[in-house]
């Protein structure tokens, strides 16, 4: 009985540990995947805004105006930046100088966000580029003139803090549920393992698979006797060969 | 893995294996329920965040479309006469996969333009929507199962009367669940890996808990197999039987039979010395007869080495977990190693990036193949436990340094070091199996060893892919290093005393026990010419063993990961696809082995395997659908499973027909096929450079298919008088 208990406890502990790890790993994977997907949706929403701004800029360029001459862009930038969680919208020229921005103080200065495409951290998709700096998502859309030359960029910055707060709140609630689930799973595992060990595979089950002691003893005796016979045979052969010294040539 | 092909009826009902199986079933059930519940909880919690975020997105897209339509309305173009409205909506639906439909309704509720599958055919009806439906709740407003985000048209226009129409954007209310196929596959992989890990650990735990109860049973089995080296642990309280007299009797009987053997060996030495002293030639038939008698006895039974302490019986389950952990350490890198190697391609502009990928993989395979004979000698000389630990240490250091490789040369160097460790560990593990089994139960021991390899093959790529996606390639290599180290340490702790007590004869006096155990693992030089002169052996090697292994390393290690990476797959996806090979292999291999034994149709299975390899390329060549690659790799695993056991049996049969030692023939067979494996990546990348990954796969598939057909035509072997059993590989 003691052996069955030890067996059930140890095997139950192994299975319970695996189940708990698998549950937490599954939840962590789900969390990461969902958070990533949520981020993608948020980014795609902001991309729509940046892309629309770019289209308007390019429409202006087709009229033959220079980028710096599209003065209505200032109002558009301010309007676009009025959306919740959007920190700023800038239109920069091909040297990275801010031409229009929701933050008027930035105008005329080089934008720290206007970097070459190969700059580390940017994920590029066509003319769109995306980067996450801490809690800030930066989306940049290249502006091209009628000849296909890149003449500037529309850069949009948005805060991810709100999204992350909402995710953290959900994860907090989820963690409590998961711990409860792990607890139930562990108890269920121990119960199931104890049942299996007791009913089928415990000491009784193992004893059932092992022959009775007398049979084991018989098998051992039989095996040893077989070896003894082979050894006897060889011994006889060797004895027959071990002739007296006088008989040797 | 339950040892297969056991000849002994009694052990087919192995209670420990049965218990482990039952506990594994419990694990599967609990895991599926628990992981399913965890996923449901996560889905339910996050779904609350998704719907508002999707609503905001739909609102933003809607604003853009409304602005465009309002421009048309501003110049008094009626909605139903607005050209290009359908095309505009279709373009927007195509651009955003989280928006299921977009529709425009006029003030009467008629749908004047729509795009998106849920609204297919809705425009053609031309009948207005019921007003209560349009003004009802957002869920299912235009299509059941979709949340409708409605935006009024013309509100910004002073010239247009309010209520010019409405723009509707539909969001799938089960968007998150439907967008989570990838996640579901990841979770399924986690469950499979967890089950296999549990299975591996459970075997060890059950045996550890039951070891006292199982000692007499194991001893009984070994004596029945003719192995008299082990004994019951001395000095312990009465264990399994509770009968100290019985246990003492067993110990005494075993000591006596070993002493008799040692005495006869000494007598034999004495006789030989006396005859030689008396001027008898070494070639005297009496000496030959006596030596042959002793050798026959050694072949039939296994006795202790002279002076060696009697070891307690070693359960090979103790070896399985370290082998599993060590192989897992290497398998973790399968999904991303080609991409990692490719990242160093810039340093060697005179080589194409694809060819650079093949170099470390080829080097690994080559060193692994060539290290086998030397590794076997090393492990005989230095002892199994020590060799295993040294091999695992080399593997761990190699993996850790691979993580920090700064150049292609360094990568090659560290991969070479890892290969050396890998080769040493595997050959040593086989040596431990050989040391602790007799020819009659060696197949069971090897099945235990191969089971660990295959389980690592399933867990490694998928686990490595997921981990690499989350924490990066270098961290995954470091994790592999830790696992390899753990494998080495666990062998050091678990096997040291036992294995040292059971060293092969080559390392000791050369008498009796374990004689030839180490030599079993080395291809004997003397047998090489007679073997290759036999055209059947050469045909088997050239037309089956080498092409099969070329395909194996080329597909699995190079082409599939590179092709999937080029198609934009994540590392986790690549790992899942690679896992399919081992899953198919594990499921099919025992069945094929049994059928090929029953039908004695090795040639047919080998030919079918080669043609199957060609057929397995089809799903990848004809479709780029997500199911193409997993199906192809599963079919490839199935084809390889058709070939493995019949090839081995034919090698053994050819050796027996030619009067050559089977173990030497198997040694050469393994060496030749591993060299073929080394050729695989280079061959694949050479073809891929000139064509594409898919065409390279097809090319290698054609090589296997054509070789299989030629093999089928050329290879003839007479049916053995007695059905040939699968050999006990060393």
- In this predicted structure, what is the pLDDT of residue B178? 72
Residue with tokens 């609630």: A173
Q: Which helix (H) or strand (E) holds B349?
A: none
ipTM reported for the complex, 2 dp: 0.74
As a whole number of angstroms, the distance between CA B577 and CA B630 comes to 5
Residue B607 sits in the same domain as residue B659: yes
Would you say residue B77 has pLDDT above 70? yes
| Position B507 confidence tier, pLDDT thresholds 50, 70, 90 | very low
Mutate which of B35, B67, B169, B246 to test chain A, going by most A C-beta atoms within 10 A?
Answer: B35
What percentage of chain A carries pLDDT values higher than 70? 83
Give the strand pairing for A86-93 and A123-125: unpaired
Residue B167 sits in the same domain as residue B215: no
Residues B183, A30: C-beta atoms closer than 8 Å: yes
Residues A27, B278: C-beta atoms closer than 8 Å: no
- Whether residue B683 lies inside any domain: the answer is yes
Residues A10, B301: C-beta atoms closer than 8 Å: no
Residue B490 sits in the same domain as residue B531: no
Q: Give φ, ψ of B102 to 5 degrees.
A: -135, 135
Confirm if B444 and B3 have CB atoms less than 8 A apart. yes
Would you say residue B7 has pLDDT above 50? no
Residues A173, B182: C-beta atoms closer than 8 Å: no
Confirm if B513 and B311 have CB atoms less than 8 A apart. no
Q: How far is A45 from chain B (nearest CA, A)?
A: 5
Tens of pLDDT, residue by residue over B424-458, are 998 888 888 877 776 666 667 777 788 888 889 88
As a whole number of angstroms, the distance between CA B719 and CA B724 comes to 9
Chain B CB contacts of A10 under 8 Å are 205, 208-209
User: In the beta sheet, which residues pair with residue A153?
Assistant: A92, A142
Chain A CB contacts of B206 under 8 Å are 7, 11
Residue B530 sits in the same domain as residue B493: no
Interface of B with A in 296-355 (CB under 8 A): 297, 300-301
Between residues B225 and B115, the one the model is more confident about: B115
| Position A202 confidence tier, pLDDT thresholds 50, 70, 90 | low
Interface of B with A in 223-282 (CB under 8 A): 223-224, 226, 228, 241, 243, 246, 250, 253-254, 257, 260-261, 264, 267-268, 271, 274-275, 278-280
Residues A19, B470: C-beta atoms closer than 8 Å: no
Residue B153 sits in the same domain as residue B230: no
> Which are the contacts of B276, defined by CB distance < 8 A and separation ≥ 6?
B282, B287
* Chain B nearest-CA residue for A188: B30
Would you say residue B497 has pLDDT above 60? no
Q: Identify the top-confidence range among A133-137, A220-224, B206-210, B680-684.
A: B680-684
Confirm if B446 and B433 have CB atoms less than 8 A apart. yes
> Which are the contacts of B11, defined by CB distance < 8 A and separation ≥ 6?
B221
Would you say residue B120 has pLDDT above 50? yes
Q: What 3-state DSSP class applies to A132? A: strand
- In this predicted structure, what is the pLDDT of residue A115? 58
Average pLDDT over residues A20-32: 82
What percentage of chain B carries pLDDT values higher than 70? 84
Nearest to B522 by CA among B664, B315, B719, B320: B664
Range of the domain at B549: 523-730
CATH number of A49-167: 3.30.450.20
Average pLDDT over residues B285-305: 78
Q: Identify the top-confidence range among A112-116, B84-88, B372-376.
A: B84-88
Would you say residue B550 has pLDDT above 90? yes
- In this predicted structure, what is the pLDDT of residue A4? 67
Residue B480 sits in the same domain as residue B549: no
Residue B643 sits in the same domain as residue B535: yes
Q: What is the CATH number of the domain that holds B329?
A: 1.20.1250.20
- Whether residue B355 lies inside any domain: the answer is no
CB-based contact (8 Å) between B479 and chain A?
no
| Position B612 confidence tier, pLDDT thresholds 50, 70, 90 | very high
Average pLDDT over residues A196-216: 61
Mutate which of A16, A209, A229 to test chain B, going by most B C-beta atoms within 10 A?
Answer: A209
As a whole number of angstroms, the distance between CA B359 and CA B679 comes to 10
Q: How far is A149 from chain B (nearest CA, A)?
A: 24
Distances (CA, A) of B397 to B405, B413, B468: 12, 12, 19
- In this predicted structure, what is the pLDDT of residue B196? 83
* Chain A nearest-CA residue for B98: A41
Residues A234, B191: C-beta atoms closer than 8 Å: no
Would you say residue B467 has pLDDT above 50? yes
- Whether residue B20 lies inside any domain: the answer is no
Q: Which helix (H) or strand (E) holds B103?
A: strand B101-105
As a whole number of angstroms, the distance between CA B364 and CA B395 comes to 12
Tens of pLDDT, residue by residue over B154-201, are 877 665 555 678 899 988 877 777 777 777 777 788 788 888 888 888
**Within a 13 Å sphere around the CA of A247, how many CA atoms are in the beta-carbon half?**
5
- In this predicted structure, what is the pLDDT of residue B513? 35
- Whether residue B647 lies inside any domain: the answer is yes
Tens of pLDDT, residue by residue over A124-181, are 555 778 888 888 888 888 888 888 888 888 888 888 888 888 888 888 888 899 999 9
Chain A CB contacts of B211 under 8 Å are none
Q: What 3-state DSSP class applies to B151? A: strand
Q: Which long-range contacts (CB under 8 A, 24 or more apart) does A32-38 make?
A: A32/B470, A33/B180, A33/B182, A33/B183, A33/B186, A34/B42, A34/B43, A34/B46, A34/B49, A34/B50, A34/B176, A34/B183, A35/A167, A37/B50, A37/B176, A37/B179, A38/A163, A38/A167, A38/B46, A38/B49, A38/B50, A38/B53
Residue B555 sits in the same domain as residue B653: yes
pTM of the full predicted structure? 0.72
Average pLDDT, chain A: 79
Residues B34, A185: C-beta atoms closer than 8 Å: yes
Residues B96, A44: C-beta atoms closer than 8 Å: yes
Q: Identify the top-confidence range among A206-210, B394-398, B665-669.
A: B394-398
Residues A237, B182: C-beta atoms closer than 8 Å: no
Would you say residue B28 has pLDDT above 70? yes
Q: Which of A236-245, B2-11, B140-149 has the lowest mean pLDDT?
A: B2-11
Q: Identify the top-confidence range among A209-223, B64-78, B265-279.
A: B64-78
Average pLDDT over residues A175-190: 91
Residue B551 sits in the same domain as residue B700: yes
Q: How far is B569 from chain A (nearest CA, A)?
A: 15
- Whether residue B19 lies inside any domain: the answer is no
* Chain B nearest-CA residue for A179: B38
| Position B402 confidence tier, pLDDT thresholds 50, 70, 90 | very high
Query: Which pair of structure tokens corresponds to residue B215?
Result: 């000692």
| Position B419 confidence tier, pLDDT thresholds 50, 70, 90 | very high
- Per-residue exposure over A131-140, b if at least 16 CB sit within 10 Å of its own CB, e if not: beeeeebbbb
Residue B67 sits in the same domain as residue B214: no
Query: Which pair of structure tokens corresponds to residue B124?
Result: 């053609």
Residues A234, B293: C-beta atoms closer than 8 Å: yes
Q: What 3-state DSSP class applies to B70? A: helix
Residue B552 sits in the same domain as residue B701: yes
As a whole number of angstroms, the distance between CA B283 and CA B287 comes to 7
What value does the CA radius of gyration of chain A take, rounded to a whole number of Å? 39
- In this predicted structure, what is the pLDDT of residue B238? 54
- In this predicted structure, what is the pLDDT of residue B632? 94
Q: Which of A102-106, B117-121, B364-368, B548-552 has the lowest mean pLDDT?
A: B117-121
Residue B52 buriedness (CB in 10 A; 0-12 / 13-18 / 19+): exposed
| Position B418 confidence tier, pLDDT thresholds 50, 70, 90 | very high
> Which are the contacts of B575, defined by CB distance < 8 A and separation ≥ 6?
B189, B334, B335, B460, B461, B462, B463, B464, B465, B466
Chain B CB contacts of A235 under 8 Å are 264, 267
Average pLDDT over residues B238-267: 77
Would you say residue A118 has pLDDT above 60? no
Residue B689 sits in the same domain as residue B542: yes
Q: How many domains does chain B have?
A: 4
Residues A41, B98: C-beta atoms closer than 8 Å: yes
């Amino acid at each position: 009985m003691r052996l069955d208990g030890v067996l059930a406890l140890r095997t139950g502990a192994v299975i319970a540990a695996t189940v708990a790890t698998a549950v937490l790993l599954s939840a962590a994977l789900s969390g990461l995947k969902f958070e990533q997907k949520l981020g993608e949706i948020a980014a795609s929403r902001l991309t729509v805004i940046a892309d629309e701004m770019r289209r308007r800029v390019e429409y202006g360029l087709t009229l033959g105006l220079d980028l710096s001459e599209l003065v209505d862009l200032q109002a558009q930038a301010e309007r676009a930046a009025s959306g919740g969680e959007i920190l700023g919208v800038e239109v920069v020229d091909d040297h990275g100088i801010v031409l229009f921005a929701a933050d008027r103080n930035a105008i005329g200065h080089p934008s720290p966000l206007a970097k070459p495409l190969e700059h580390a951290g940017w994920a590029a998709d066509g003319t769109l580029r995306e980067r996450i700096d801490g809690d800030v998502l930066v989306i940049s859309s290249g502006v091209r003139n009628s000849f296909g030359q890149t003449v500037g960029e529309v850069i949009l910055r948005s805060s991810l803090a709100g999204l992350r707060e909402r995710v953290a709140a959900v994860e907090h609630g989820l963690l409590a549920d998961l711990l409860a689930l792990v607890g139930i799973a562990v108890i269920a595992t121990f119960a199931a393992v104890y049942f299996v060990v007791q009913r089928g595979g415990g000491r009784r089950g193992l004893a059932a698979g092992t022959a009775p002691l007398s049979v084991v003893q018989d098998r051992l005796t039989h095996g040893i006797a077989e070896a003894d016979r082979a050894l006897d045979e060889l011994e006889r052969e060797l004895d027959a060969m071990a002739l007296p010294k006088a008989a040797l040539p | 893995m339950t040892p297969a092909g056991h000849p002994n009826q009694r052990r087919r009902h192995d209670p420990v294996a049965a218990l482990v199986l039952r506990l594994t079933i419990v694990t599967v059930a609990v895991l599926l329920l628990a992981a399913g519940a965890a996923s449901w909880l996560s889905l339910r919690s996050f779904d609350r965040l998704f719907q508002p975020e999707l609503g905001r997105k739909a609102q933003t897209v809607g604003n853009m479309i409304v602005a465009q339509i309002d421009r048309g309305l501003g110049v008094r173009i009626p909605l139903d006469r607005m050209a290009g409205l359908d095309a505009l909506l279709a373009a927007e639906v195509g651009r955003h996969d989280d928006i299921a439909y977009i529709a425009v309704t006029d003030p009467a509720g008629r749908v004047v333009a729509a795009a998106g599958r849920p609204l297919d055919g809705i425009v053609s009806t031309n009948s207005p929507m019921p007003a209560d439906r349009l003004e009802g709740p957002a869920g299912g407003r235009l299509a059941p199962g979709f949340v409708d985000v409605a935006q009024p048209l013309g509100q910004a226009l002073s010239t247009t009367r309010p209520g010019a129409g409405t723009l509707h954007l539909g969001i799938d209310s089960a968007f998150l669940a439907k967008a989570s196929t990838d996640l579901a596959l990841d979770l399924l992989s986690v469950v499979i890996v967890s089950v296999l890990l549990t299975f591996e650990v459970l075997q060890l735990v059950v045996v550890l808990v039951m070891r006292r109860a199982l000692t007499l049973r194991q001893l009984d089995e070994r004596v029945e197999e003719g192995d008299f080296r082990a004994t019951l642990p001395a000095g312990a309280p009465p264990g399994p039987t509770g009968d100290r007299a019985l246990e003492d009797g067993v110990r005494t009987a075993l000591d006596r039979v070993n002493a008799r053997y040692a005495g006869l060996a000494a007598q034999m030495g004495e006789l030989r010395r006396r005859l030689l002293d008396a001027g008898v030639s070494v070639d005297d038939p009496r000496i030959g007869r006596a030596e042959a008698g002793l050798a026959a006895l050694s072949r039939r039974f296994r006795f202790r080495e002279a002076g060696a302490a009697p070891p307690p019986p070693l359960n090979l389950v103790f070896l399985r977990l370290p082998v599993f952990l060590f192989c897992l350490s290497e398998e973790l890198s399968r999904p991303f190693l080609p991409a990692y190697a490719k990242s160093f391609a810039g340093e060697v502009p005179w080589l194409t990036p694809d060819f650079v990928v093949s170099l470390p993989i080829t080097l690994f395979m080559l060193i692994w193949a060539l290290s086998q004979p030397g590794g076997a000698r090393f492990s005989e000389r230095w002892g199994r436990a020590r060799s295993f630990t040294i091999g695992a240490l080399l593997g761990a250091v190699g993996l850790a340094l691979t993580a920090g490789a700064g150049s292609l040369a360094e990568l090659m160097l560290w991969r070479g070091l890892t290969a050396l460790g890998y080769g040493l560990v595997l050959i040593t593990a086989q040596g431990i199996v050989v040391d602790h089994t007799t020819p009659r139960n060696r197949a069971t021991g090897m099945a235990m060893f191969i089971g660990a390899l295959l389980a690592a093959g399933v867990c490694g790529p998928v686990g490595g892919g997921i981990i690499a996606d989350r924490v990066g390639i270098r961290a995954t290599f470091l994790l592999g290093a830790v696992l390899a180290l753990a494998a080495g340490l666990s062998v050091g702790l678990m096997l040291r005393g036992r294995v040292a007590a059971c060293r092969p004869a080559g390392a000791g006096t050369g008498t009796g026990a374990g004689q030839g155990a180490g030599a079993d693992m080395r291809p004997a030089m003397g047998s090489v010419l007679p073997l290759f002169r036999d055209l059947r052996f050469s045909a088997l090697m050239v037309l089956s063993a080498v092409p099969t292994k070329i395909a194996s390393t080329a597909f699995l290690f190079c082409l599939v990961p590179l092709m999937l990476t080029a198609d934009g797959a994540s590392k986790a996806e690549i790992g899942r696809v690679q896992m399919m090979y081992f899953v198919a292999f594990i499921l099919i291999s025992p069945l094929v082995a049994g059928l090929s034994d029953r039908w004695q149709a090795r040639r047919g299975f080998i030919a079918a395997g080669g043609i199957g390899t060609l057929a397995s390329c089809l799903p990848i060549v004809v479709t780029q659908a997500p199911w193409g690659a997993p199906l192809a790799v599963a079919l490839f695993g199935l084809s390889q499973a058709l070939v493995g056991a019949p090839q081995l049996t034919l090698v053994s049969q050819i050796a027996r027909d030619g009067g050559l030692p089977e173990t030497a023939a198997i040694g050469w067979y393994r060496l030749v096929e591993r060299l073929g494996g080394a050729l695989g990546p280079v061959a694949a990348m050479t073809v891929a450079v000139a064509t594409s990954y898919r065409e390279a796969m097809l090319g290698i598939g054609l090589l296997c298919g054509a070789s299989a057909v030629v093999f089928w035509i050329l290879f003839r072997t007479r049916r053995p008088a007695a059905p040939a059993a699968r050999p006990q590989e060393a």
